[in-house]
Chain A
Amino acid sequence: STVKTASFSILFLRAGQTKPGFLPRIRDEFRQNSNIKKTDVMHIEYLYRRGQRQLDQLKDVNTKQLGTFSKPQAES
């Protein structure tokens, strides 16, 4: 499953290469979910299904860039 994740992440990185803002987020998402146990199949499969949909959207020619709206909670 680590091999599958690696190849899945490569697909994402390739798709997001030409569109600004995606690569850091893709890396973060994969890093964040890297500590899921191998036995937690339901969770992994859910993330994989969701990831497939997100990948299709990323590859779509109409998706142009990723930005972030962020708010430091300390300031509120």
Chain B
Amino acid sequence: MMAGVSRILIRRLSSSQSLPPSVRCCSRNFHFNINGKRDDAKVSNDISQYPVVDHHFDAVVVGAGGAGLRAAFGLSEAGFNTACVTKLFPTRSHTVAAQGGINAALGNMEADDWRWHFYDTVKGSDWLGDQDAIHYMTEQAPASVVELENFGMPFSRTEDGKIYQRAFGGQSLKFGKGGQAHRCCCVADRTGHSLLHTLYGRSLRFDTSYFVEYFALDLLMEDGECKGVIAFCMEDGSIHRFRSKNTVIATGGYGRTYFSCTSAHTSTGDGNAMVTRAGLPCQDLEFVQFHPTGIYGAGCLITEGCRGEGGILINSEGERFMERYAPNAKDLASRDVVSRSMTIEIREGRGCGPEKDHVYLQLHHLPPQQLAVRLPGISETAMIFAGVEVTKEPIPVLPTVHYNMGGVPTNYKGQVITHVGGEDKVVPGLYACGEAACASVHGANRLGANSLLDLVVFGRACALTIAETGTPGEKLSPLKPNAGEESVANLDKIRFAEGTIRTSEIRLNMQKTMQNHAAVFRTGDLLKEGCDKMDAIYQSMEDIKTFDRGIVWNTDLVESLELQNLMLNAVQTIHSAEARKESRGAHAREDYQDRMDELDYAKPLAGQEKKSFDQHWRKHTLSTVDIKTGKVTLGYRPVIDRSLDQEECSAIPPAIRSY
């Protein structure tokens, strides 16, 4: 009788063999199949096949820089089974290039209070920063730095063995009234390098699974919830789907949209692009920080710490011109103020060099011993990239693209949000931290040394939030079997692209357009022209030509995918900039030179009527892109003006921003 039953079962199974249930057809002609090759395949060579490995984790972190590593081992520490997917080896992430330091109100050099740091950051952001996130960051700062020290980070020390803190741009005491603050904890001028190596070393203690040299393609979204990431292994060309309930984006910025930037070639805004393709908005992308001191020509970074140690900027007349633009802070004013001042000096004919197109950073008036101990890295950089001996000659510098204040919008806990019906709404399963995120702690302009702080504080915040809202080992919700198919179709399309324009050419066009049309000073006509040019360049991506048809270590393919990501960032940046008709922080418009808030804070507030939301500009931009047409749609979201606890730390009402 048992034999009879089994014969029926076998027959039932064999009749269903004709259409295996795991085959799902799709409109892009890609078929997903579990049981190896399709049986009706005539010749295997005719089929473009991509093996896709499925992994299940409790949490996936995309990016292994400062923020990514901190989130990954924070999650592993909390017991979550964590994967860290990164296109670069962790110690090669761009965090390693950070020089200046990390701000924290430890009070080692003089009496200090985190509320003064809070005030400086709010003012630095030109009142576009969300004060609850800033409160969170500045309050956590001392604990975060102490935690880093306990991890073994080799901070520079004072005579009595405490962490050495140097002066940095925009930092003051007593809410701006007590002079320059010394709050930036540093490791000579190689803080990012030490930070990243310390975090990497620490992360090895935990059992995070690292997927190194895996290029994340897209988020796996279903019903508005993020259920994981799909990535491409560069080593063997296989596709990997990382399914998890919690995905953290820590992919860094997108400096490479500009021709001249201090960023690595790998800063291509992959996270922002993944979020855009998922139909979610990006926030405040028009705010691109131009660091005052990038080496003229090479674009390499000379840290603000030079000015913190006493370096000064001089024009062709040998004048310390910052005294005119920022009488109190002088060379240590906020970065956007300094960049604008330098650009004005050059424009008015007081630039240095044969073409009068840069200014000088003078360090030779400082004792050589101090330069050797506190600034060894830039001494070397200046010699290699500018041929300058810093103890004898000044360094030629120019404002260079350095940081992106904008990114994936999150709340102060690190959860990604959208804005629906006038309310912030959390996207379940998705988190972001670091430069890729926009919490927003930096608002319209970032203060120096706040970024490294942002990384560790919000990296940890994401891990804590995930630990709070979930449990390790939770069962995953079902996902449709062919999830991620569009990403593979796109990869295949790019791999076999046979247009007429090569990747490097399209990239150069984009970079030159952005550099010329969305620079330090922006005007309506130039921006509009830039928008039209960028739209045309976006369309030209249809005509892209790639040369390498292989699947193993195909850098042509990876660079083209990165270019797709850069393109999405660039169009959102320039369209958001064109739409914002005011000057705020790093976004300076020559045709709209004033800040347009809901009240005119330059005049007495009594008797003024508040402007309505669509009449003023103290709001966050939310941009989305229609991937097929490249059309950018803009929306807006109010700034959060309440701190986390009004009694502990009262919010700062807007005021005129001068240094």
Physical interaction between A and B? yes
Known A-B contacts A70-B50, A73-B46; the reply to A64 vs B56 at CB < 8 A is yes
Interface residues on A, range: 20 to 34
B372 within 8 A of A: no
Question: Which residues of chain B are near A20, meaning CB under 8 Å?
Answer: 34-35
Q: A69 is contacted by which of B46, B49, B236 (Cβ under 8 Å)?
A: B49
**A54 to B209 Cα, complex, angstroms:** 14
Query: What is the 8 Å Cβ interface bit string for chain A, positions 35-76, against chain B (1 contact, 0 not)?
Result: 000000000000000100110010010111111111111111
Is the CB–CB distance between A64 and B32 below 8 Å?
Answer: no
Is the CB–CB distance between A67 and B235 below 8 Å?
Answer: no
B37 within 8 A of A: yes
Question: Which residues of chain B are near A76, meaning CB under 8 Å?
Answer: 29
Known A-B contacts A20-B34, A62-B209; the reply to A71 vs B47 at CB < 8 A is yes
Task: Find the residue from A50, A60, A66, A75 having the highest chain B CB count within 10 A.
Answer: A66
B184 within 8 A of A: no
| In the complex, chain A residues 12-26 whose Cβ is within 8 Å of any chain B Cβ | 20-21, 23-25
Is the CB–CB distance between A71 and B48 below 8 Å?
Answer: yes
Is the CB–CB distance between A68 and B51 below 8 Å?
Answer: yes
Is the CB–CB distance between B55 and A64 below 8 Å?
Answer: yes
Question: Which residues of chain A are near B489, meaning CB under 8 Å?
Answer: 71
Question: Which residues of chain B are near A24, meaning CB under 8 Å?
Answer: 35-37
A-B contact count (CB 8 A): 95
Q: B488 is contacted by which of A63, A64, A69, A75 (Cβ under 8 Å)?
A: A69
Q: B485 is contacted by which of A21, A54, A69 (Cβ under 8 Å)?
A: A69
B171 to chain A: closest CB distance in Å? Answer: 45
Is the CB–CB distance between A70 and B38 below 8 Å?
Answer: yes
**A57 to B82 Cα, complex, angstroms:** 14
Main secondary structure of the interface of A (DSSP, over half): mixed
B89 within 8 A of A: no
**A70 to B48 Cα, complex, angstroms:** 5
A30 to chain B: closest CB distance in Å? Answer: 14
Known A-B contacts A24-B37, A50-B236; the reply to A69 vs B47 at CB < 8 A is no
Query: What is the 8 Å Cβ interface bit string for chain B, positions 478-489, against chain A (1 contact, 0 not)?
Result: 000110010011
Question: Which residues of chain A are near B55, meaning CB under 8 Å?
Answer: 62-64
Is the CB–CB distance between B54 and A67 below 8 Å?
Answer: yes
Is the CB–CB distance between A65 and B34 below 8 Å?
Answer: yes
B536 within 8 A of A: no
Is the CB–CB distance between B54 and A65 below 8 Å?
Answer: yes
B328 to chain A: closest CB distance in Å? Answer: 56
**A20 to B76 Cα, complex, angstroms:** 28
**A67 to B47 Cα, complex, angstroms:** 15
B565 within 8 A of A: no
Which residue on chain A has the smallest CB distance to residue B44? A28
B214 to chain A: closest CB distance in Å? Answer: 11
Question: Which residues of chain A are near B57, meaning CB under 8 Å?
Answer: 62
Known A-B contacts A65-B34, A67-B33, A67-B34; the reply to A25 vs B83 at CB < 8 A is no
Q: A25 is contacted by which of B29, B36, B482 (Cβ under 8 Å)?
A: B36
B337 within 8 A of A: no
A66-B52, A69-B52, A74-B46 given; name 14 further pairs at CB < 8 Å. A21-B34, A62-B57, A63-B55, A65-B54, A66-B34, A66-B54, A67-B52, A68-B37, A68-B50, A69-B31, A69-B482, A70-B33, A71-B489, A72-B29
22 contacts between A and B (CB under 8 A): A21-B35, A24-B35, A24-B37, A28-B37, A50-B236, A57-B53, A62-B81, A63-B53, A65-B34, A66-B34, A66-B54, A67-B22, A67-B32, A67-B54, A67-B481, A68-B32, A68-B34, A69-B49, A70-B30, A70-B47, A71-B29, A76-B29
